[in-house]
């Protein structure tokens, strides 16, 4: 007993010692670097071994030295809604940026605005891409570099803190944004900072940096088994077809999926025949290389400036991307390759190397997490949750399902309004405004979602419960009314657009 008392007195004395108090007082705030790519699917990283021969050394390093959040999803698989969800911590039906044309409302608060009040220096570099905002500087950022809409891979006109700068036609946007980001960090490295580095890559039309052109032109193409689902499919088959590992329910493939195969977003007439699938595939991989190099450049800067112990780098894709799944390309659907994204965290002073987090994380969790890192409580309007405790290895209660929404777009009418709910094992997908089948999948037995179980009577209770869960979620989050937004512009290249 006396021994324990001595230990207790020693610990109290150590806590009260001047040196200990100074160490606690002088703990540096955690810097936050968020790197966002465009249309990067969850499994196209070297360490995932999906594409044999694909090299992503920086992403591999982040996973090896940090954490791989292997079940990360977006709540809407489309650029503008997903980006607004990241910034606000809200579902699309809450922030109402429901598509790429919907105007950004004035009543939203972005997570960097809270960081500014905490004393952080903040910067946004890259693609903003939200409805009515163009490239104009937005609230929450001390430094601003952006471009209108999708921008270009070469020769952009940039908005730099409100002033236009025309880039040379030889300047590659991924490299330029990274260099600007490093220069800005050099100017603020003695203060807590938050950098939001938002790349154009790897959005179509893919254009790799000149140094990467042709790197993967001879790489064998590996197609998912769901790319060729029908027995009478006459499509050209590219490369190696992954062998299916489940029963294929041919008769219950929704009609809209079959029809979309020969469309703008289908493998048989992709982008209306502007590019063949094999070239498209290789250009995507080559364009991804500069994004990986950007990550490496930022990591090297952090290490070289002695900031590794108090800096967190987070890498994420804004949505997934289908490469033949169900005969489709692009995103928008609730299938795994569309709604699932890469998510990596590197923070040597906080996250144990080689951490794998199996819990389901969604894009609305990013904002609460960044605020949590800065010691800021989650604002009441944010609908996501901080996953910082999971990064620390703490055992906490976590969600057992994620929800998904996508709203029909005038510019791309082939994909219908979609709602979905996904658990660790099952996924239920429901469509609105179309006379067609809904879908139910057992992801454990059928990871490629080829056996629609919606008619399986033995699973009626599971399907009905997921449907109830989906509508309960919509009701509790005020999402039962589909937001109808004024269109901010027309896609004149779309043959389906209305002429007025």
- The token pair at 208 is 């790799």
Half-sphere exposure of 210 (CA within 13 A, CB side): 5
- How many residues are recorded in the chain? 500
Sequence-distant (6+) residues with CB within 8 A of 160 are 144, 145
Tell me the β-bridge partners of 314: 34, 345
How high is the pLDDT of residue 497? 39
How high is the pLDDT of residue 171? 97
CA angle 327, 272, 325 (to 5 degrees): 15
Tell me the β-bridge partners of 184: none
CA 345/CA 202 separation, integer angstroms = 20
Contact of 271 with 412, CB cutoff 8 Å: no
Q: What count of other Cβ atoms lies within 10 Å of the Cβ of residue 195?
A: 25
Give the chain's residues under pLDDT 70. 1-27, 229-237, 243-245, 485-500
* Alpha carbon distances (Å) from 69 to 342, 371, 391: 8, 19, 9
Closest CA to 295 of 389, 232, 223, 201: 201
CA 46/CA 342 separation, integer angstroms = 12
CA 209/CA 203 separation, integer angstroms = 13
Domain boundaries, the chain: 30-400
How high is the pLDDT of residue 17? 44
How high is the pLDDT of residue 236? 59
Report pLDDT digits (tens) over 380-432: 999 999 999 999 999 999 999 999 999 999 888 889 999 999 999 999 999 99
How high is the pLDDT of residue 490? 46
Q: Is residue 411 exposed (0-12), middle (13-18) or buried (19+ Cβ within 10 Å)?
A: middle
Closest CA to 272 of 490, 496, 100: 496
CA angle 346, 347, 350 (to 5 degrees): 140
Fold for domain 30-400?
Alkaline Phosphatase, subunit A (3.40.720)
Entry pTM: 0.92
């Amino acid at each position: 007993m006396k021994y324990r008392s001595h230990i207790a007195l020693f610990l109290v004395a150590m806590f009260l010692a001047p040196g200990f108090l100074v160490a606690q007082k002088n703990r540096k705030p955690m810097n936050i670097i968020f790197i966002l790519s465009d249309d990067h699917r969850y499994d196209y990283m070297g360490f995932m071994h999906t594409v044999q021969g694909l090299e992503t050394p920086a992403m591999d390093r982040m996973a090896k030295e940090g954490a791989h959040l292997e079940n990360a999803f977006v709540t809407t698989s489309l650029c503008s809604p997903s980006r607004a969800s990241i910034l606000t911590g809200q579902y699309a039906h809450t922030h109402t940026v429901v598509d790429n044309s919907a105007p950004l409302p004035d009543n939203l608060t972005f997570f960097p605005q809270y960081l500014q009040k905490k004393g952080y220096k903040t910067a946004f570099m890259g693609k903003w891409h939200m409805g009515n905002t163009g490239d104009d500087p937005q609230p929450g950022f001390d430094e601003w570099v952006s471009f209108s809409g999708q921008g270009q891979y070469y020769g952009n006109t940039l908005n730099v803190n409100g002033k236009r700068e025309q880039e040379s036609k030889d300047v590659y946007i991924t490299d330029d944004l990274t260099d600007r980001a490093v220069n800005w960090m050099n100017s603020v490295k003695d203060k807590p900072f938050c950098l939001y580095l938002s790349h154009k890559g790897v959005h179509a039309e893919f254009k790799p940096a000149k140094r990467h052109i042709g790197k993967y032109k001879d790489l064998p193409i590996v197609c998912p088994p769901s790319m060729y689902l029908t027995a009478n499919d006459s499509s050209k088959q590219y490369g190696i077809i992954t062998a299916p590992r489940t029963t294929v329910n041919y008769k219950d493939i929704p009609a809209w999926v079959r029809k979309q195969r020969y469309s703008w977003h289908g493998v048989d007439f992709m982008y209306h025949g502007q590019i063949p699938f094999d070239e498209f595939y290789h250009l995507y991989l080559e364009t991804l290389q500069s994004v990986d190099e950007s990550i490496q450049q930022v990591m090297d800067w952090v290490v070289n400036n002695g900031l590794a112990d108090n800096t967190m780098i987070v890498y994420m894709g804004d949505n997934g991307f289908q490469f033949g799944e169900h005969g489709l390309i692009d995103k928008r659907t609730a299938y795994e390759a569309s709604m699932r994204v890469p998510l990596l965290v590197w923070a040597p002073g906080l996250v144990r190397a080689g951490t794998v987090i199996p819990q389901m994380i969604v894009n609305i969790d990013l904002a609460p997490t960044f605020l949590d890192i800065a010691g800021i409580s989650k604002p009441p309007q944010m609908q996501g949750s901080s996953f910082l405790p999971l990064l620390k290895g703490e055992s906490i209660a976590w969600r057992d399902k994620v929800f998904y929404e996508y709203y029909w777009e005038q510019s791309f009418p082939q994909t219908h309004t979609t709602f979905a709910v996904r658990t660790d094992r099952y996924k239920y997908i429901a469509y609105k405004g179309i006379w067609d089948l809904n879908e139910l999948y057992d992801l454990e037995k059928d990871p490629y979602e080829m056996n629609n179980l919606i008619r399986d009577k033995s699973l009626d209770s599971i399907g009905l419960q997921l449907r109830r869960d989906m509508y309960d979620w919509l009701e509790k989050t005020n999402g039962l009314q589909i937001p109808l937004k004024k269109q901010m512009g027309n896609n004149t290249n779309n043959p389906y657009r209305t002429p007025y």
